[in-house]
A and B are shown apart, each in its own frame.
Chain A
Amino acid sequence: MDKVVLEVKKLSKHFGGLKAVDGIDFKLYEKEIIAIVGDNGAGKSTLIKTISGVYKKTGGQIYINGKEVDITSTIDSRRNGIETVYQSDGALDCFDAPANLFLGREKLLDNFLGRVFGIMDTRYMKKETEALLKKVGVEVKNISADVSDLSGGQRQSIIVGRAVYWGGHILIFDEPTNNLGATQQRNVISLIKRIRDEYGVSIIVISHNIAHVFELVDRIVVLKNGKKVGERLKKDTNPTEIVSMITGVHEHVVNFTSKKF
Chain B
Amino acid sequence: MLTLSMKFILFSGTLVITRAVSITGFPKSLVFLGHENIGPIPMPVVVLVFMAIVFWIFHSYTAPGRIISAIGVNITTASYFGISVKKVEIYTSLISAVCAALAEIVMLGRATSGQQRTGYGMELDAVGAVLIGGRSLQGGVVTVRGVMFSVLILGLINNGLNVLGVDPLWRDAVRGAVISFAILIDQWERKQ
Contact = CB atoms under 8 A, between A and B. Distances in A.
Interface of A: 54, 73-75, 78, 84, 86, 89-95, 99, 103-106, 108, 117-120, 122
Given A78-B82, A104-B81, A89 B74 contact: yes
Contact of A92 (B62, B64, B74, B82): B74
Contacts, number: 63
Nearest to B62: A118
A104 B74 contact: no
A89 B73 CA distance: 11
Nearest to B141: A94
A119 B79 CA distance: 22
Contacts of A91: 77
A149 to B, nearest CB: 14
Contact of A119 (B61, B77, B84, B141): B61
Given A74-B80, A118-B63, 19 more contacts: A78-B82, A89-B74, A91-B77, A92-B70, A92-B73, A92-B74, A93-B73, A93-B74, A94-B73, A103-B70, A104-B78, A105-B82, A106-B66, A118-B65, A119-B62, A120-B61, A120-B62, A120-B66, A122-B61
A97 B57 CA distance: 20
Q: How large is the interface on B (under 10, 10 to 19, 20 to 34, 35 or more residues)?
A: 20 to 34
B76 interface: yes
Contact of A89 (B61, B64, B69, B77): B77
B161 interface: no
Nearest to A49: B80
A12 B61 CA distance: 42
Interface in B82-112: 82-84
B162 to A, nearest CB: 38
B67 interface: yes
B63 to A, nearest CB: 4
Contacts of B83: 103-104
B163 to A, nearest CB: 39
Contacts of A103: 66-67, 70, 78, 81, 83
B67 A104 contact: yes
A253 to B, nearest CB: 40
30 contacts: A54-B79, A73-B82, A74-B80, A75-B82, A75-B84, A78-B82, A84-B80, A89-B76, A90-B80, A91-B77, A92-B73, A93-B73, A93-B74, A94-B141, A95-B69, A95-B73, A103-B67, A103-B70, A103-B78, A103-B83, A104-B81, A105-B82, A106-B63, A106-B67, A108-B63, A118-B62, A118-B64, A119-B61, A119-B62, A120-B62
